[in-house]
DNA sequence: CGGAGCGTTGAGCAACGTCAAAAGACGTGG
DNA sequence: CCACGTCTTTTGACGTTGCTCAACGCTCCG
């Protein structure tokens, strides 16, 4: 099964930070693929994990809840080519839960496989470390976004990030993305109420820059969307984008 | 100078995640101490860095600004015993600036020193990786805080984090902390206007849980402060606190 | 003495949250 | 097939939070 899995994996998106040789080293170590349905919990806050996951298809989210409350806040999205839970390799226990937002397929790699390959290939270890720190950079951006931007800019910025990361993962910009989440999910990501998200979506639609409906995100005017969201890609550390700072 | 520097360094705070042996390995590699004044920029967004820093005294902050704007948002605080810019080791260029919020002393370690020691000591490398991921966990918490909590809870949560991390770095809980920042700095950390911060500070004072004045944070009622801020320490991954999840 | 930066307070307003209601989408069981 | 419940979206009315603008006092420092 391992070789079969390896053959089906493509080094898309952020995996572009690995050299071909590094990918050839890493890919065979994934020992299976697992599918999840929208809403499935992939790993629960506090669980001890002995494996990490690579997003192959679909969208996976990290979710943090304050102690008492039932509802929490999405703090990151992972698109195809992103590791999720690679944090779990050094941390062992995660402070957040991981859920599938859409139908999602992930590849599983055991921590002892990772351990072995990283002992031998220090450069690969460093790239993996790098990838977890890009996540940290994105977290910083989310903190900034939800602190500094008003509702409309917030949602526009969120959509711009999604557009940029997904188009990169898919190899080209799309006019339409499947983003099978509810408006309530969006509200948990952007730190606002579902009702207000609904109104902001209407405003964005009437502004003619994008439409979100039935889990479809349609980009009508990308540059306008980015301008409204004050969006800049530098913090994403996209492969081949070394000049952005 | 190196050995002199090493002798003056103590493995306080989060450095408790290193074993004694690991600290003995790492400490001699810091080649100098540098002092900063409040407001000094320690490293600028986009600079290529060939060294990383360890906070020895004072408080250092990470700052993110959206593309067009002049004012930005603080996205993290580092207290004594925290690495700052260790992210720069894998990332090379940082998406954010680092500034001294107070008088601060940092120890400098060259990336090639780090590289060499990590090549030899894979366990140490992993602890350093771990420490950067604790930063990521804290970023997630900041994103959650500024998304889910109302103004008073936000500030209370912020103060609770500061109290917890500083008391850990200092070895015991204090009644008074020096936090030589302006209300405007607080507003940049909590995603609100300085005016509103001012009012919230008054409310917290009148509530009898804490006083912030002239850069002094006085904790009157720690448990009340934490309750108002819905604060829980798990996300900080404090050494010796493995049971929290 | 004058200016600059910070803290404090008030008045008014815009943004956003809360509550409530209703309609559409969807699956389930009868 | 229909009836029903549940979830989501949408809209309206209303209340509150938090922002804007403005003024003034304070302290520090030249």
Average pLDDT over residues B198-217: 96
Structure-model confidence comparison of residues B183 and B69, the more confident one: B183
- Taking only the tens place, the pLDDT of each residue in A84-130 is 989 999 888 888 999 998 889 999 999 999 999 999 999 999 999 99
Cα A215–chain centre separation: 17
Query: Is A146 in Cβ contact with B245 (below 8 Å)?
Result: no
Q: Can you give the pLDDT at residue A243?
A: 54
Residue of chain B nearest A191, judged by CA positions: B147
Q: Can you give the pLDDT at residue A4?
A: 61
Tell me the CB-side half-sphere exposure of residue B84, using CA atoms within 13 A. 29
Q: Is the CB of A184 under 7 A from strand D?
A: yes
Lowest mean pLDDT among A7-21, A151-165, A206-220, B223-237: A7-21
- Taking only the tens place, the pLDDT of each residue in A148-199 is 999 999 999 999 999 999 999 999 999 999 998 999 999 999 999 999 999 9
Structure-model confidence comparison of residues B147 and A67, the more confident one: B147
For chain B, what is the mean pLDDT? Answer: 91
- pTM of structure: 0.94
Closest CA to B33 of B50, B49, B13, B57: B57
- Taking only the tens place, the pLDDT of each residue in B151-165 is 999 999 999 999 999
A76: chain B residues, CB-CB within 8 Å: 140
- From edge to edge, which strands make up the β-sheet containing B216-219? B176-178, B216-219, B210-213
| H-run or E-run covering A213 | strand A210-213
User: Which of A66, A87, A230 is the closest to B148 by Cβ?
Assistant: A66
Residue of chain A nearest B238, judged by CA positions: A91
B167: which residues sit within 8 A by CB, 6+ positions away? Answer: B173, B174
Average pLDDT over residues A190-219: 96
- Taking only the tens place, the pLDDT of each residue in B163-185 is 999 999 999 999 999 998 999 99
Rounded CA separation A117/A114 (Å)? 5
CA of A187 to C1' of C16 (A): 13
Rounded CA separation A221/A209 (Å)? 5
- From edge to edge, which strands make up the β-sheet containing B30-36? B30-36, B104-110, B51-57, B83-84
Query: Is B191 in Cβ contact with A147 (below 8 Å)?
Result: yes
Using the predicted structure, report yes or no on whether residue B117 has a pLDDT greater than 60. yes
Query: Is A46 in Cβ contact with B245 (below 8 Å)?
Result: yes
Using the predicted structure, report yes or no on whether residue B80 has a pLDDT greater than 90. yes
Q: Can you give the pLDDT at residue B39?
A: 85
C7: residue with closest CA to C1': B198
User: Which of B64, B68, B147 is the closest to A140 by Cβ?
Assistant: B64
Average pLDDT over residues A65-78: 79
For A171-194, the DSSP string reads TS--SEEE----HHHHHHHHTS-H
Using the predicted structure, report yes or no on whether residue A3 has a pLDDT greater than 60. no
Q: Can you give the pLDDT at residue A1?
A: 47
Q: Is the CB of B153 under 7 A from strand D?
A: no
């Amino acid at each position: 099964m391992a070789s079969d899995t390896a053959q089906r994996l493509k080094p898309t998106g952020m995996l572009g930070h690995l050299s071909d040789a590094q990918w050839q080293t890493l890919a065979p170590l994934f020992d299976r693929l697992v599918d999840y349905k929208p809403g499935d919990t992939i790993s629960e806050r506090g669980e001890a994990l002995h494996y990490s996951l690579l997003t192959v298809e679909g969208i996976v989210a990290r979710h943090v809840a304050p102690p008492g409350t039932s509802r929490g806040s999405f703090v990151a999205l992972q698109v195809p080519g992103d590791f999720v839970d690679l944090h779990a390799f050094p941390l062992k226990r995660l402070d957040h839960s991981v859920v599938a937002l859409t139908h999602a397929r992930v590849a599983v790699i055991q921590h002892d496989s990772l351990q072995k390959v990283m002992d031998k290939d220090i450069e690969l270890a460093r790239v993996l470390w790098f990838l977890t720190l890009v996540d940290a950079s994105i977290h910083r951006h989310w903190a900034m976004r939800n602190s500094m931007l008003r509702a409309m800019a917030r949602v526009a910025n969120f959509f711009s990030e999604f557009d940029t990361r997904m188009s990169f993962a898919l190899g080209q910009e799309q006019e339409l993305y499947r983003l099978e989440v509810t408006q309530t999910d969006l509200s948990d990501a952007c730190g606002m109420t579902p009702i207000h998200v609904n109104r902001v979506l209407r405003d964005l639609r009437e502004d003619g820059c994008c439409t979100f409906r039935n889990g479809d995100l349609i980009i009508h005017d990308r540059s306008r969307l980015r301008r409204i969201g004050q969006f800049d890609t530098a913090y994403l550390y996209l492969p081949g984008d070394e000049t952005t700072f």
